[in-house]
Structure 1
């Protein structure tokens, strides 16, 4: 147990960097590690070599966890065996000197019925009373041994087993589960295959070729913000209306997904983790043909949802077109230039600059949809030699210099971020948590105690009766058990402390 406690302390200390430093593949802030690297260029490489940005997937964290699992197994299983033997064991014999025990009473009386066999003996009466009160009773000669509260030991047994089950559950999730992130604009569809994820983190034994078959479509996204008071602009309500199909049931079904209310498809869950704006644009090339049309996701960079993004039209001819800029949901002009005064789309505007040339998408190298490769492109220039840029409201069109093409801002749509996760160990962990709660509550609430009754008969018709008990917890013995035995064996009021050795404790 000492080794397990030391390893558990090491595990807790090892988890501290995971709480203080940004971690990769965290849905709430996927760009946090990149931002830390940009702000700390000297410190970042050293921390990265130590695995500080992937603490819970690092070899050293896994090593401590594995050692803890082995240690807990070696600690818990033998202890469970001892507790089980204790539960099944018979009540222990009474000590030689019962006067040292709690709630001790001693008196002399005549043998019931003058020793007649038709009358119940004190031993029989004591057994009947104690059994009625829920004790496990065993009579040996002139002695009654009774014990109660074995459920407390079962609670200890369940509590210790729950720790081992919890470790197994966490390990199952880390070995067989996966986690991924996607961003869906309104009207867009996602199919659950690895290539469709924006980011995908499988576990060691994840079967990536046989993910749960389903597809989801973001039909509509609704967001509400505080419009007045000191907390103006704070989010109040997010709701994503999804339609989905599964491999086993091609029927289209619908469900609303909100924070902490995920879509659950056979234990693969889609959690709503964020949202933003996806302006819908139409790009035409120099010939007037539509080269691109649809929503484009712009990533928010502050609480007012001022967002950055790029638009690519690789099908434009004779030159490919690219646009870079920002979107303001409620555009306003301040001393520092345009900014968003409110996160809702009350005055949406799209600010763009244009580029012509080769987008570099045909080279075969992977390319982010949120960045524009300008190495093979030239920025569109106005006649006065200044860079070409425009601010567009919904419905407005900007035409590129030299008839290179145009872009129309059609409407404002929204997008939603989803974290899709499969964790086969969560049910095991939940069961372990319930076991821990029930076991700990039982072991704290139930008191294990013992009661003994000893009858000593002299050579005549008299006998001496002793009743005593013992609490096996830190709480004093409840005197009601011994009082019931004394009352049954010695009718009449219980003796006062002045004329008896009875030392009952009452709550």
Structure 2
């Protein structure tokens, strides 16, 4: 059992395993980029579920809409973290010793090295020639060691290229920093999405209860969110003649954060930066303003966000009036007389039917196609439901019945229903989806990525190599010189560098030969 655990640990902490886990982490992140995520934009998740009713439940069971918080993604993440730590620590110790250790002694047989040369004999004794060569190599930023070898011979060892292993360790250490940054963001970060309709009546404050979607790490206290309130004051979208979006820009009013009320612009790549959070602009659309007057003459007005269903800003939505037709004399409400409207909003109504798709995404000739329903909306049962759609189960059961035929209303037009109640299309307001996020791991991750690039550069361009020189006293005076070179990594240009280094160190040209060369 001990041997099995030891071998398993060696396999887990090997560099090959770390690379495999890094690749698996990248592959596992692909679904998070392809599929809509609940923590980013829940409206897209709902749209995906409507478009793929059979597939969406299985995707949800496999955490496809919450990839980065799924157990299987966390398992790969933790295994990679463990593998990197177990891989880096022993390599870091070995590299530290190698950096501070003297270059190894000159090999006995230099002719067996991949590169070797026999320069011209040097003048002077071997010790002086070795000292001069060592000095020249140090000026070339080589790490040098000169050793006496006996019988008057001297050897000079030089090495360069520890930057490669330093870059490797820096790269993998930075990956650990990135993983730690992601973990810190997961533990202490929070995010929430809110659809904000223009106007002071639809402003929201930074509390959990006011978010449409909210997620927080286990170390976050939801009651301690930074205080601020946001109101959408203006939104402008610009489109090309083809209908392709060109630019989006919103203006929001911010107050409640201890500073004076102020208006600031927010764009796709220009978030609202607040103390403790950033607000990002995700989506936008139209909210038709409908006024319903019931049989007792009581009018109710609401701005209902319609969610886009295509690139031309055609929107779907539902306006519900659960408090309609309340008898003012008794205050009694008949649930069977509740009213709702479901329909399509068209920013630019086509010139001819069918009126099911906008002709242009900009508001040029707005209209809303409505289906009227009367009956029990089912909201008194306390069962949660979508605010953008009617309960189709109630429609199928007959508790909510359609009234008359659908009607297209343009701005200012009124539709009179069979019970003499009316609904009027007053106009539109703009809405935006705001994603408010706090990620304390963002800065460590950014710094880690920068260090990853630095380490990767050193790993790619650093080349470990060694050069050896031996100076042996010659019979007729002076000393005989032999040289050898050993690249520690794949280095196609080492032969040329070796020739230049030997010539510069000895002060004479060298006849370079590879291992199989002849004199």
TM-score (norm 2): 0.80
The answer on whether the counterparts of 1:243 and 1:255 sit within 8 Å (CA) in structure 2 is yes
The answer on whether the counterparts of 2:40 and 2:435 sit within 8 Å (CA) in structure 1 is no
- In the alignment, structure 1 residue 163 sits paired with structure 2 residue 171: no
Judged with a 3 Å threshold, the aligned counterparts in structure 2 of structure 1 residues 54 and 291 are, in CA distance, closer, same or farther, namely same
For 1:415 and 1:487, the matched residues in 2 are separated by: 73
The answer on whether the counterparts of 2:122 and 2:506 sit within 8 Å (CA) in structure 1 is no
Q: What is the match of residue 240 of structure 2?
A: 226
Q: What is the match of residue 325 of structure 1?
A: 343
- Of 350, 361, 366, the match for 1:343: 361
Shift of 1:237: 1.6
Shift of 1:194: 1.2
Judged with a 3 Å threshold, the aligned counterparts in structure 2 of structure 1 residues 337 and 279 are, in CA distance, closer, same or farther, namely closer
Q: What is the match of residue 4 of structure 2?
A: none
Q: What is the match of residue 473 of structure 2?
A: 457
Judged with a 3 Å threshold, the aligned counterparts in structure 2 of structure 1 residues 221 and 333 are, in CA distance, closer, same or farther, namely same
Judged with a 3 Å threshold, the aligned counterparts in structure 2 of structure 1 residues 478 and 211 are, in CA distance, closer, same or farther, namely farther
Q: Secondary structure at the match of 2:131?
A: helix
Please, which moves more after superposition, 11-20 or 188-197?
A: 11-20
For 1:91 and 1:246, the matched residues in 2 are separated by: 66
- In the alignment, structure 1 residue 276 sits paired with structure 2 residue 285: yes
Judged with a 3 Å threshold, the aligned counterparts in structure 2 of structure 1 residues 354 and 462 are, in CA distance, closer, same or farther, namely closer
Q: Secondary structure at the match of 1:107?
A: coil
Q: What is the match of residue 123 of structure 1?
A: 130
Render the CA deviation track for 1:439-487: whole Å, top value 9, x for unaligned.
Answer: 1111211323223332222577432233443322211326457646545
TM-score (norm 1): 0.82
Shift of 1:399: 4.3
Shift of 1:368: 2.9
- Of 144, 147, 152, the match for 1:140: 147
For 1:455 and 1:246, the matched residues in 2 are separated by: 81
The answer on whether the counterparts of 1:107 and 1:466 sit within 8 Å (CA) in structure 2 is no
Unpaired runs of 5+ residues, structure 2, are: 1-13, 149-153, 328-332, 515-519
The answer on whether the counterparts of 1:24 and 1:33 sit within 8 Å (CA) in structure 2 is no
Judged with a 3 Å threshold, the aligned counterparts in structure 2 of structure 1 residues 223 and 425 are, in CA distance, closer, same or farther, namely same
Q: Secondary structure at the match of 2:107?
A: coil
For 1:140 and 1:226, the matched residues in 2 are separated by: 76
Q: Secondary structure at the match of 2:45?
A: coil
- Of 213, 218, 223, the match for 2:227: 213
Shift of 1:103: 5.2
For 1:367 and 1:31, the matched residues in 2 are separated by: 12
Q: What is the match of residue 254 of structure 2?
A: 244
Shift of 1:347: 0.7
Q: What is the match of residue 384 of structure 1?
A: none
Please, which moves more after superposition, 395-404 or 273-282?
A: 395-404
- In the alignment, structure 1 residue 74 sits paired with structure 2 residue 67: no
- Of 199, 220, 236, the match for 2:213: 199
Judged with a 3 Å threshold, the aligned counterparts in structure 2 of structure 1 residues 14 and 441 are, in CA distance, closer, same or farther, namely closer
Judged with a 3 Å threshold, the aligned counterparts in structure 2 of structure 1 residues 487 and 314 are, in CA distance, closer, same or farther, namely closer
Q: What is the match of residue 72 of structure 2?
A: 60
Render the CA deviation track for 1:264-287: whole Å, top value 9, x for unaligned.
Answer: 324633222221111223344445
Judged with a 3 Å threshold, the aligned counterparts in structure 2 of structure 1 residues 424 and 246 are, in CA distance, closer, same or farther, namely farther
The answer on whether the counterparts of 2:137 and 2:505 sit within 8 Å (CA) in structure 1 is no
Render the CA deviation track for 1:92-141: whole Å, top value 9, x for unaligned.
Answer: 211112234425233334426xx9xxxx9212211221121112222223
Shift of 1:346: 1.0
Q: What is the match of residue 3 of structure 2?
A: none
The answer on whether the counterparts of 1:380 and 1:400 sit within 8 Å (CA) in structure 2 is no
Please, which moves more after superposition, 432-441 or 395-404?
A: 395-404
- In the alignment, structure 1 residue 260 sits paired with structure 2 residue 269: yes
Shift of 1:438: 0.9
Please, which moves more after superposition, 332-341 or 425-434?
A: 332-341
1:291-370 counterparts in 2 under 5 A?
A: 291-293=300-302, 295-316=303-324, 317-318=326-327, 320-332=338-350, 334=352, 336-356=354-374, 359-370=377-388
Judged with a 3 Å threshold, the aligned counterparts in structure 2 of structure 1 residues 501 and 10 are, in CA distance, closer, same or farther, namely closer
CA RMSD of aligned residues (A): 3.2
For 1:95 and 1:427, the matched residues in 2 are separated by: 49
Count of matched residue positions in the alignment of Structure 1 and Structure 2: 476
Render the CA deviation track for 1:27-52: whole Å, top value 9, x for unaligned.
Answer: 272324422552x2xx5555544444
For 1:246 and 1:137, the matched residues in 2 are separated by: 66
Shift of 1:437: 1.2
1:98-109 counterparts in 2 under 5 A?
A: 98-101=110-113, 102=115, 104-109=117-122
Judged with a 3 Å threshold, the aligned counterparts in structure 2 of structure 1 residues 486 and 353 are, in CA distance, closer, same or farther, namely closer
For 1:479 and 1:250, the matched residues in 2 are separated by: 67
Render the CA deviation track for 1:238-266: whole Å, top value 9, x for unaligned.
Answer: 1112222363x422333322223322324
- Of 386, 394, 414, the match for 2:430: 414
Judged with a 3 Å threshold, the aligned counterparts in structure 2 of structure 1 residues 36 and 338 are, in CA distance, closer, same or farther, namely closer
Q: Relative to total residues, which structure has the larger helix share, 1 or 2?
A: 2
